[in-house]
Amino acid sequence: MDNTNLIDITAQQTSALYNWTFNLIQNAGLSDKIAHIVVSVGLLIIVFIGLYLIHMLISAISQSILTKLIQKTKTNWDDFLLQNKVLNKLSQLILVIIAQQMIPLIFIGFPNFNAGLNKFLQILVILAVYAFINSLLKTGRDILRTSKAFIDKPLDSYLQVIQIFLFFVVGTLVVSILTGNSPWSFLVSLGAASAILMLVFKDTILGFVASIQVSANDSVRVGDWISMPKYGADGDVVQINLNNVKIQNFDKTITTIPTYTLLSDSFTNYRGMQESGGRRIKRSINIKIATIRYLNEGEIEDLKKIELLAPYIEKRETEIKAYNRESGVDETVLVNGRRMTNIGLFRAYINAYAKQNPDIHKGLTFMVRQLAPTEHGLPLELYMFTNGTEWAFFENTMSDLFDHLFAAIKYFHLEVFELPASDDLRHLLSESKLEALAKDPEA
């Protein structure tokens, strides 16, 4: 015997009990109105006691038996059932269905009140069904989050879309019950207000479309590091909802931006950098152009003492001497033929030093290049990648590299360009005064 038949038999028995009790009280000499009130109140108390006992029985079964069984299992999906209170929502739904079947039968003598009570109980059933389905959907979301295929997907956005649809269905059914009209007639009348609804739910619709496109294009995932300077966002994506995206910045502040801005505005996603295993160094040393020159034999011999540079210098000397000899170059003029320059050897030293650094990635783009000269000198740019993507590691590696190069540049008779400081100006002023005094002591 299923639950529906059991409820129908119980309802019939309750109706028969009502009629028997009413006839008994009426025979005692009470009026029909008083008899109806006494019977309804008495049966209502009995039904409430019965519902309470059923609730206690269901709670005892779910807590003492089901909960212990779930806690003992090795799987996680049944734990999510407990966390999202699916069993509690199910017990509430059972109680509301029983009450919806039983309570109207104890108010047979009050047809006007019974009609309104029926509507109220029907609405309670709909809300209980919605709460149960909602808890199941949350459980499904939590289960999918444990899967590697869905761990970076905007599951909250999908859940919110389904919740909005269910809320719309629940609202339609509730209005239909209250008005007594068919749900389809309500939907037809709702079409006339579609323009207003589009305006009210504009952000929600845009967010829904954006979340689908973001997921389909795989442009942003939960856990990605993104940067949107326009909104002051620079950090990890912690949540993608239907209406907004939460980004935890590196100073631990939270920036919330509308989801549809991921389509309308530009942003930088550093996922590719993190997956490559290297983070780019792109920084220049501005060389004072006036210090760039050819090196003489003595200076070259001194630079041979640099272990990293010695093999390169020996190879270049052999190539240059062979070329100049074959070309019959007049070596009395330095500009003739081929010569080694301090900037060239410094660039070769940077290459050798960076390549032997274990913190520099050897499998990604690696070069030391000259950029176009500017009023700030000749930029000598290091374009390479660190052998890791962590922020602190990247900054330390780059700082160590440039610390060494700034200290080593003087060995190549080069100077780093920098604008005059206040001390430089005071020094020039004092020198000019001394020169003036030397020319005219009486001045």
DSSP one-letter string for 354-409: HHT-TTB-SSS--EEEE---BTTBEEEEEEEEES---HHHHHHHHHHHHHHHHHHG
Pick from 116-120, 197-201, 359-363: least confident = 197-201
User: CA angle, 67 as apex, 65 and 68 as ends, to 5°?
Assistant: 65
Q: Is residue 92 part of a domain?
A: yes
Question: Of 125, 151, 177, which residue is a domain's last?
Answer: 151
Question: Of 130, 151, 172, which residue is a domain's last?
Answer: 151
Would you say residue 35 has pLDDT above 90?
A: no
The answer to whether the CB of 134 falls within 8 A of the CB of 163 is: yes
Would you say residue 4 has pLDDT above 80?
A: no
**One domain, residues 409 and 285:** yes
**One domain, residues 406 and 319:** no
Identify which of 56-70, 156-170, 208-222, 252-266 has the greatest average pLDDT.
Answer: 252-266
Would you say residue 11 has pLDDT above 70?
A: no
User: What per-residue confidence (pLDDT) applies to 399?
Assistant: 96
**One domain, residues 40 and 18:** yes
Give bridge partners of residue 256 from the DSSP assignment.
Answer: 246
**Distance in angstroms (rounded) separating the CA atoms of residues 148 and 50:** 47
Q: What is the mean pLDDT of the chain?
A: 80
Identify which of 15-29, 227-241, 306-320, 427-441 has the greatest average pLDDT.
Answer: 306-320
**Distance in angstroms (rounded) separating the CA atoms of residues 266 and 274:** 20
User: What per-residue confidence (pLDDT) applies to 233?
Assistant: 92
Given pLDDT bands bounded at 50, 70 and 90, which one contains residue 395? very high
The answer to whether the CB of 290 falls within 8 A of the CB of 343 is: no
User: What per-residue confidence (pLDDT) applies to 3?
Assistant: 46
Q: Is residue 158 part of a domain?
A: no
Q: Is residue 111 part of a domain?
A: yes
**One domain, residues 283 and 417:** yes
User: CA angle, 94 as apex, 93 and 99 as ends, to 5°?
Assistant: 95
User: What per-residue confidence (pLDDT) applies to 300?
Assistant: 93
Question: Of 151, 174, 195, which residue is a domain's last?
Answer: 151
Q: Is residue 264 part of a domain?
A: no
**Distance in angstroms (rounded) separating the CA atoms of residues 22 and 12:** 15
Give bridge partners of residue 237 from the DSSP assignment.
Answer: 247
Identify which of 80-84, 329-333, 375-379 has the greatest average pLDDT.
Answer: 375-379
User: CA angle, 361 as apex, 311 and 250 as ends, to 5°?
Assistant: 140
The answer to whether the CB of 88 falls within 8 A of the CB of 80 is: no
**One domain, residues 281 and 400:** yes
Would you say residue 74 has pLDDT above 80?
A: no
**One domain, residues 320 and 357:** no
Segment 109-119 shows an average pLDDT of: 69
**One domain, residues 403 and 321:** no
* Total number of residues shown for the chain: 443
Would you say residue 130 has pLDDT above 60?
A: yes
**One domain, residues 312 and 399:** no
**One domain, residues 393 and 300:** no
Pick from 173-177, 293-297, 419-423: least confident = 419-423
User: With a threshold of 0.75, does the pTM exceed it?
Assistant: no
Q: What is the pLDDT of residues 137-154, one digit of tens each?
A: 888 888 887 777 776 666
% of the chain residues with pLDDT over 90: 30
Distances (CA, A) of 137 to 121, 256, 263: 24, 25, 28
Given pLDDT bands bounded at 50, 70 and 90, which one contains residue 6? very low
Q: Domain total for the chain?
A: 3
Q: Is residue 311 part of a domain?
A: yes
User: What per-residue confidence (pLDDT) applies to 400?
Assistant: 95
**One domain, residues 317 and 370:** no
* Residue carrying structure tokens 């068919």: 182
Helices (H) and strands (E) in the chain, counts: 17, 8
Q: Tell me the H-state helices in 283-328.
A: 297-303, 310-327
Query: Which pair of structure tokens corresponds to residue 275?
Result: 């997956």
Segment 178-183 shows an average pLDDT of: 74
Given pLDDT bands bounded at 50, 70 and 90, which one contains residue 197? low
Q: Is residue 207 part of a domain?
A: no
**One domain, residues 283 and 134:** no
Q: Is residue 289 part of a domain?
A: yes
Given pLDDT bands bounded at 50, 70 and 90, which one contains residue 7? very low
User: What per-residue confidence (pLDDT) applies to 139?
Assistant: 82
The more confidently predicted of residues 309 and 189 is 309
* Residues spanned by the domain of 308: 296-340
Closest among 127, 128, 94 to 4, alpha carbons compared = 94
**One domain, residues 46 and 130:** yes
Q: Is residue 34 part of a domain?
A: yes
User: What per-residue confidence (pLDDT) applies to 191?
Assistant: 59
Q: What single-letter amino acid sits at 321?
A: K
The answer to whether the CB of 291 falls within 8 A of the CB of 415 is: yes
* CATH number for 402: 3.30.70
The answer to whether the CB of 187 falls within 8 A of the CB of 143 is: no
Give bridge partners of residue 225 from the DSSP assignment.
Answer: 236
Q: What is the pLDDT of residues 309-368, one digit of tens each?
A: 999 999 999 999 999 888 888 878 888 889 999 999 999 999 999 999 999 999 899 999
Tell me 341's DSSP state. Answer: B
User: What per-residue confidence (pLDDT) applies to 264?
Assistant: 81
Q: What is the pLDDT of residues 290-316, one digit of tens each?
A: 999 999 999 999 999 999 999 999 999
Distances (CA, A) of 405 to 131, 175, 408, 410, 420: 66, 76, 5, 9, 21
